[in-house]
Amino acid sequence: MAISSSITSVHITALDAIVNVNSLFTLAVFIGLTWNPHDPENNLNSDPACAPTAAIAENLVAFHVYSFSSFLFSSLIALALKQAIRLTRTSAYTPAVAHVNRSCLRLVMVVSGAGSVSGCLFLMLALVNVVQIKLGTLACGSSHAFAAIVPLFIFVPIALLIYVSVVFYAFTR
């Protein structure tokens, strides 16, 4: 099936956006993996009952790794699709048309978008664990921890909803 250049450019722009966002988050996750959140002089959490357990620190590392792998997966899929679109351009004489299987294009865009969304969710869970390590566990009812996490659970899902809407728009074109 031939896809016109204006529609193909929408797909390539969407794929570029996925790769750019994933690159920023991958950098953030990579830096997060190298950071040691255990602070022996932790003076933000003075209640020993609110001290984080080893399981919270283990979850922090695990969620960072899951997030990193999700962003990397999504970026590689998006870059592969972008290259496939560019390689399927018919010739130098008709650069405005690419022969791309529309169903395959949509499926790969959804898979790439799902990788980005899962990476964001894992990153959000990692940040919850960072907050618990620094400000006290949620189980003990630390008001500072809840105050830090509530905006995270409001703003990130709203941003993901906007992101999914834009990817869905590109998916339907």
For the chain, the DSSP string reads -EEEHHHHHHHHHHHHHHHHHHHHHHHHHHHHHHS----TT--S---GGGPPPHHHHHHHHHHHHHHHHHHHHHHHHHHHHHHHHHHTB--SS-TTEEE--HHHHHHHHHHHHHHHHHHHHHHHHHHHHHHHHHH--TTTT-HHHHHHHHHHHHHHHHHHHHHHHHHHHHHH-
Single pTM value for the model:
0.77
- Which of 16-25, 28-37, 57-66, 73-82 is least confident? 28-37
Confidence of residue 1 (pLDDT cuts 50, 70, 90): very low
Would you list the domain boundaries of the chain? 2-35+48-172
The whole-number pLDDT of residue 39 equals: 57
Span 29-37, average pLDDT: 65
